[in-house]
């Protein structure tokens, strides 16, 4: 697992073995970050189900001003902390140890410009998470959202005022890109 581009480009992240994690592949990361490259510098980013922090650190590498990484698994948080130390990341990243659905329900602060969502592949909860996002206060008029899900999961084209604007398949995974507004 490595950072693909930006100020940490090519740097390897901490090697780990954990049954509960399946990090986002370089191919999927490239798709996300290349399509959002103009929006990343100085962006406020939310990384839900952070896992190893792979997407969080990639966003920081591409110039995000701040990243909030939400993860409840203590083993994953330990990996995030090790990667944070390895890269020398400081105050630009905040780690929140909380269940994502509870975080979304209780969040009442500044909204984010970009939101990454990578729920556990074993739980098939993409639809539930998008419902929770649409009812939360984490986004504003110009926020872009991407969610990674399994190919066989139900995920709608619209959640409240949030509309799908692109979907890409990657074998057993798919990326769904959303924005606020009309389809």
* Number of other residues whose CB lies within 10 A of the CB of residue 79: 25
The pTM for the full model equals: 0.93
pLDDT in tens, the chain (183 residues): 889 999 999 999 887 665 555 667 778 888 899 999 999 999 999 999 999 899 999 999 999 999 999 999 998 999 999 999 999 999 999 999 999 999 999 999 999 999 999 998 778 899 999 999 999 999 999 999 999 998 889 899 999 999 999 999 988 889 999 999 864
* Cβ pair 144, 114 in contact under 8 A: yes
pLDDT at 29: 87
User: Given this model, what pLDDT does residue 23 score?
Assistant: 67
Looking at domain 26-180, what is its CATH homologous superfamily? Vaccinia Virus protein VP39 (3.40.50.150)
Query: What's the pLDDT at 21?
Result: 57
The maximal CA–CA distance of the chain, rounded, in angstroms, is 43
pLDDT of residue 122: 73
Determine the pLDDT at residue 102: 98
In the chain, which ranges are E strands? Answer: 44-48, 66-71, 93-97, 112-117, 139-150, 158-159, 162-170, 173-180
- Assign residue 93 a region (left: φ > 0; alpha: ψ between -120 and 50; beta: otherwise): beta
| Alpha carbons 134 and 96: distance in angstroms, whole number | 20
pLDDT of 42 reads: 96
């Amino acid at each position: 697992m490595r950072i693909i581009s930006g100020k940490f480009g090519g740097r390897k992240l901490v090697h780990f073995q954990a049954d509960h994690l399946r990090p986002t592949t370089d191919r999927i990361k490239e798709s996300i970050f290349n399509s959002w490259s103009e929006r990343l510098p100085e962006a406020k980013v939310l990384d839900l189900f952070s896992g190893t922090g792979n997407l969080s650190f990639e966003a920081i590498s591409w110039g995000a001003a701040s990243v909030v990484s939400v993860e409840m698994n203590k083993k994953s948080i330990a990996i995030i902390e090790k990667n944070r130390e390895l890269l020398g990341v400081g105050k630009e990243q905040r780690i929140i140890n909380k269940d994502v659905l509870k975080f979304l329900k209780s969040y009442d602060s500044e909204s984010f410009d970009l939101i990454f969502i990578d729920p556990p592949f074993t739980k098939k909860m993409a639809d539930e998470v998008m419902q929770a996002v649409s009812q939360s206060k984490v986004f504003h008029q110009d926020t872009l959202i991407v969610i990674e899900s399994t190919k066989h999961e139900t995920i709608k084209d619209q959640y409240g005022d949030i509309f799908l604007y692109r979907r890409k398949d990657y074998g057993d995974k798919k990326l769904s890109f959303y924005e606020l507004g009309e389809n």
